[in-house]
Amino acid sequence: MTEVLTTAQPIRLKGRSFLAMVLNPEPPFDDWLTRLDDLAERSAGYFLNKPIVLDVGGLDIDRLQLRELTRQLGDRGIRVMGIEGAASSLLVPDLPPAIDGGRPASDFVTPASELPDVDTGRSSGRTRPDDFQPGRTVPSIIVTEPVRSGQSLMFEGDITVVGSVASGAEVVAGGSIHIYGTLRGRAMAGSAGDTAARIFCSRLEAELVAIAGFYKTSEDMGPDLRGSSVHMWFQNEMLMSEKLG
Amino acid sequence: MGKAIVVTSGKGGVGKTTTTAALGAALAQGDQKVVVVDFDVGLRNLDLVMGAERRVVYDLINVIQGEAKLAQALIRDKRLENLYLLPASQTRDKDKLTPEGVEKVMTALKKTFDWVICDSPAGIERGATLAMRHADAAIVVTNPEVSSVRDSDRIIGLLDAKTAIAERGERMEKHLLVTRYDPTRAETGDMLKVDDVLEILSIPLLGVIPESTDVLRASNLGTPVTLADARSETAQSYFAAARRLMGEAVPITIPSEKRSFFGMFFGRKAA
């Protein structure tokens, strides 16, 4: 029996970012859990299927308390995926792993209370409908100059280019890419794995386009799209494209 | 204070040296005091095109190294008394070209001359970046074919990033000169049309120079085309470009189609 050692398929490592809900327990924890129950009661399944991170930074908490807290949360169907701000000595293997490097995003909107005075959370003001913040804000930049050959434009959010992207230039965005000009170089949207990212250009002459790591070279693109304004997105593991306007 | 202009392209063989010599001679004939500077250390050519190869004693590197005074290295043209050449060294190492040295020479030249025209070497290495570093404006020489256009695009990017002007947060003045333009081949699609080149590079057009045997004949004679036969179509195109450089509004004509493109091109000034 011979083993074929040369056919090792490379493992594809994808990057992806998720928005996690961060819970800040406040002592006394029994009190805090009661408020949490109250919130859960108002909105059944509010914490269901949401990635939850427990932030214990600045809290005077020991291992027993922490274990008790995660157990209590587990009883309520809230499974903690990571603990932020805890001393590494606290985190024994049966507790969720440490997590850090989170970047701030806008707050989740908690279900409004019928009785405003019940809501005693520290961020009570944010729960009012007039302070409603629609989701998270996606950062974006606008470039008003042509992107020249040899230049590489990278940004974590959306990129809008008012001008052309030259042959031999590349635009790499974590989000979507909008090009009000001719795209002759490369455009890579959703570079961190965001499959919802899209590419728009006024005129397609691209060398390569990619969304979430799936790419098409100039040869793979239909000749009928060449020279027209095109919209590209990702669907069913495929790069889809259609003419605009 | 004079104006320093770099003649650059990225790609070799597109006509930088021919352009430097032709524009230098054209400006000098318009009573301007001009010096053409060769930055192509190790592969100098400007001295040949200017017909001064047998008069070179000191060169740019000698001046930078302090082995000669600037006045000793400058060669006055025999035909035009307003025209000077600062040759490059053919034998020395191009690493002797230092940013500080270049800056000192450029400042000194700008005090004496109205125009300092620098002939950049091809490529994007040290010589090319130093030639553009202290320029006030750039002439990007492009042939109407894709590789030349892409290299020019790369150079334009560098002009906006790696020059003293760009580092001060200002914009480098850029002009596009399309050379070796063959109208019949552009018509049949063998070559890019001027519009296509302009659309890709989006910088204002300074002129279009037709492909012509005049250029080869003139450089073999060691004479800038604008001195060899001032009435030839090539020379006329360079004269017009020189006048535009001085700020005159001269209509741009595409060779052989004698239609004026003035309105069209001046409406699309960009970048």
Nearest to A166 among B153, B158, B160 (CB): B153
A169 contacts on B by Cβ (under 8 Å): 153, 157
* Cα gap B155→A174, rounded to integer Å: 28
Note whether B138 contacts A: Cβ–Cβ < 8 A.
no
Determine the 3-state secondary structure of B233 from DSSP.
helix
Question: How near does any CA of chain A get to the CA of B62, in Å?
Answer: 34
Within 13 A of A238's CA, how many CA atoms are on the CB side? 5
Tell me, what's the pLDDT at B37?
97
Distance from CA of B160 to the nearest CA of A (A): 10
Question: Is the minimum CB–CB distance between B154 and chain A shorter than 8 Å?
Answer: yes
Sign of CA dihedral B89, B90, B96, B100: positive
Tell me the per-residue pLDDT of A214-237, one tens digit each, with 9 for 90 and over.
989 888 888 899 999 999 999 988
Would you say A178 and A187 are in contact if contact means Cβ atoms under 8 Å apart? no
Q: With contact defined as beta carbons under 8 Å apart, do A55 and A84 qualify?
A: yes
H or E segment and range at residue B197:
helix B194-201
Pick from B158, B199, B271: which is nearest to A145 by CB? B271
Work out the minimum CA distance from A186 to partner chain B, whole angstroms. 14
Averaged pLDDT, B75-94:
91
Q: What is the pLDDT of residues B14-57, one digit of tens each?
A: 999 999 999 999 999 999 999 999 999 988 999 999 999 888 98
Q: A59-63, B71-75, B99-103, B118-122 — which is least confidently predicted?
A: A59-63
> A160: helix, coil or strand?
strand
Per-residue model confidence as pLDDT tens digits over A120-164:
333 333 333 444 445 556 689 999 999 999 899 999 999 999 999
Chain A positions in Cβ-Cβ contact with residue B174 (cut-off 8 Å):
none
pTM across the whole model: 0.67
The ipTM of this complex is 0.72
Q: Touching check for B271 and chain A: CB below 8 Å? A: yes
Ordered by where they begin, the domains of chain A are 21-90 (3.30.70.260), 108-243 (2.160.20.70)
How wide is the angle at C-alpha B156 spanned by C-alphas B246 and B194, nearest 5°? Answer: 70
pLDDT in tens, A91-102: 778 888 888 777
**How crowded is residue A49: how many other Cβ atoms within 10 Å of its Cβ?**
6
